Amino acid sequence: MKSLKLLLLFLVVVVMSGCVVRSLQPLFTEKDLVFKTELVGTWTQPDAKAEEYWQFEKGDETSYKLIYKGEDGTAEFDVHLVKLKNNFFLDFLPTGLKEGNDFYRFHFIESHSFARIWIEKDSFRMSVLNYDWFSKMIDNGKIKIAHEKVDDTIIVTAATKDLQKILIKYADDKEAFPEASAWNRKKE
């Protein structure tokens, strides 16, 4: 249940632009994209309520549409599965705000967020890039990447290739990508 709460918090934070590492640029170039049919389907966590799930649908040739349903409502994302070296990552991009008028929506800037993923047949594990770790590494000068801080929120402004170098370097670091949450294919 702890991992479900953490992951739900992650999604709320992504949608509400809080403390996840956000980037103006995607994590991928076209050559980095892969599509695994194993990810398509509806996924839940152990002990999750029946109405809480993630549903991955096939988008275009190299993308997924993610529908997240939780206690706080529904959110949609364009998701890409990215392979960097031997590691897989998800790149999440909200599909946009639906409320408010055009002038209101114009003031929001889309941003990408990332998670490391391990895909198995009927399950996957996922770990979100640790914001606190990332922030400390930047503050201590151990990670040098173009970014801005807006109200104590880091927004990476670096090019995709620079972001990729960081994630490749720290992909196996347990502080960068802490305990992974487990997801199981929903039995229909």
The per-residue pLDDT for range 69-108, each reduced to its tens digit, is: 888 888 899 999 999 999 999 999 998 777 778 888 777 8
The Cβ of residue 185 has, within 10 Å, a number of other Cβ atoms equal to 17
Side chain identity at residue 82, one-letter code: V
Boundaries of every domain in the chain: 2-39+81-180
Q: What is the pTM of this model?
A: 0.85
Residue-wise pLDDT tens digits, 9-59: 344 434 333 478 999 999 999 999 999 999 999 999 887 766 789 999 999
